[in-house]
Amino acid sequence: MEVIIRPDKEKATDLVAKIIAKAVQHKPGLVLGLATGNTMEPLYAELAAIHRDEKLDFSLCRTFNLDEYVGLKAEHRNSYRHYMNEHLFSKINIDIRNTHLPSGTARDLDSECEKYEQKIKECGGIDLQLLGIGKSGHIGFNEPLSAFFSRTRVKALTPTTIAQNSPLFEKPEDMPKRAITMGVGTILDAKRIVTLVLGKAKSEILAKAVEGPVTSMVSASALQLHPKCVVITDEE
Ligand code: GLP
């Protein structure tokens, strides 16, 4: 695992944008794993700016998001599909049919999870997976004690995650308590992983993830096992 510390949030975010832009230039049909959360908003704005100003071409890219809330329709303003359309997909020239998120409203959630894994396989696997880390140490929504071999499935969210994400909901109590998420095993199968973690509030969990023991108590510590993982962070 390589850890790169940039002086501030902007420089760390710019570096991740450059890495993604270079990967897309190098392989126009890149299979890109995507994440959500506040950390990613400036990153997606930067990618949209690179597309606008430097004509970065996403037309052949395929994307797979890490997770989606169970029970939220795609149109719900707090769904991750809505987040991705708003922050990235509507601002670049990607074919929306090539963008994938699990459906949180599928009638059969288990079969939705299996289909998601299958689709990733059919696309040849994820070339570059972008990740953030939640305060509980989760990657995707792999809460503590997620098996390192886990695949896409439904997970119950922990009180820490509910406390972190519920303020984004109009009525915080409406935040779903379950989500579909790629498993830790699914994430570790990506050929390359780029993790962006910013700010003081994440410093303690980041230290556990990169310097602590590899343990399912901190899902992000599984990244230490990946042969090609870079963590980009700021001084704070
Ligand atoms: C959510 C997502 C994670 C993301 C995390 C961090 O819980 N499921 O994939 O890494 O938020 O979010 P933020 O960047 O807002 O701290």
pLDDT reported for residue 167: 95
Digitized pLDDT (tens) for each residue of the chain, 236 residues in all:
999 999 999 999 999 999 999 999 999 999 999 999 999 999 999 999 999 999 999 999 999 999 999 999 999 999 999 999 999 999 999 999 999 999 999 999 999 999 999 999 999 999 999 999 999 999 999 999 999 999 999 999 999 999 999 999 999 999 999 999 999 999 999 999 999 999 999 999 999 999 999 999 999 999 999 999 999 999 99
H helix or E strand, kind and range, residue 23: helix 9-26
* pTM for this predicted structure: 0.97
Nearest CA to ligand 1 atom 7: 134
Q: Are 155 and 186 in contact, with CB atoms under 8 Å apart?
A: no
Nearest CA to ligand 1 atom 11: 37
Contacts of 79 (CB under 8 A, 6+ apart): 68, 69, 72, 73, 104
Tens of pLDDT, residue by residue over 25-34, are 999 999 999 9
DSSP state letters, 161-213: HHHHHGGGSSSGGGS-SEEEE--HHHHHTSSEEEEEE-SGGGHHHHHHHHHS-
Closest atom of ligand 1 relative to the 141 alpha carbon:
8
Nearest CA to ligand 1 atom 12: 37
pLDDT reported for residue 168: 93
Ligand 1 center–CA 135 separation, angstroms: 8
Closest atom of ligand 1 relative to the 140 alpha carbon:
9
pLDDT reported for residue 224: 98
Pocket test for ligand 1, best of 39, 44, 169 (most atoms within 8 A of CB): 39
Helix, strand, or coil here: 3? strand
> Long-range contacts: 71-78, Cβ < 8 Å, 24+?
71/104, 71/105, 71/176, 71/178, 72/104, 72/105, 72/176, 73/104, 73/105, 74/103, 74/105, 77/170, 78/168, 78/169, 78/175
